[in-house]
Homo-oligomer: A and B are copies of this chain.
């Protein structure tokens, strides 16, 4: 059968990633085959390999995409605020909590606690922490300059704080309390950063 001409040439990779994102959500990584993805995308098997070198390649692309969405949200949140380091930190915290609570963005998360999804899950967590860390780091450095934070190694402190946030996912597997736990954790994090002032506990209204 001859190839069907597409209405929107150039949209294939995106369609495939979207399809992969959906299939990954539904079946997990180990049980997701390339056939599943192309079926979901309405494409032929060969088309897949026109745009992606391997199954791993597209999984990375999915992870990349989701991570990018979260990082974008985080950067936007931080950029909006031109106030002090503590406010920025709270804004960042809110962005993360919002994203974590957003079912659409976290489609994959529902399946993360199934063992077969470990792989993407952690690939993403790694990506996320790696890309969020510089944002936190700049906030920490700002706080040190402002004199509200007291840390010797901003790099170390940033990872520590983010790692602490990430662990909550494991601490509250049912996710119902996750968003609120992230908020509660702010106090722990600010303390770790040497903040001694009043704790800004109220989450920002959505």
Contact = CB atoms under 8 A, between A and B. Distances in A.
A50 to B, nearest CB: 12
Contact of A194 (B121, B122, B191): B191
Interface in A114-173: 115, 118-119, 121-123, 126, 129-130, 133, 151-153, 155-157, 159-168, 170-171
Interface residues of A, number: 38
Contact of A122 (B118, B181, B193): B118
A65 interface: no
In the complex, which of the residues A115, A156, A167 has the most CB atoms of chain B within 10 Å of its own CB atom? A167
Interface in A173-206: 181, 184-185, 188-189, 191-194
A164 B115 CA distance: 23
In the complex, which of the residues A56, A126, A157, A192 has the most CB atoms of chain B within 10 Å of its own CB atom? A192
Copies in the complex: 4
B160 A167 contact: yes
A33 to B, nearest CB: 13
Contact of A167 (B151, B164, B184): B164
Contacts of A189: 160, 192
B171 A167 contact: no
Given A159-B170, A167-B160, A168-B159, A123 B115 contact: yes
Contacts of A193: 188, 191
A133 B192 contact: no
A188 B151 contact: yes
A115 B159 CA distance: 20
A118 B123 contact: yes
A121 to B, nearest CB: 8
Contact of A170 (B115, B157, B163, B170): B163
A105 to B, nearest CB: 21
A156 B168 contact: yes
A162 B167 contact: yes
Q: Shortest 6 CB-CB distances between A and B: which pairs?
A: A163-B167, A159-B171, A192-B192, A160-B164, A164-B164, A122-B122
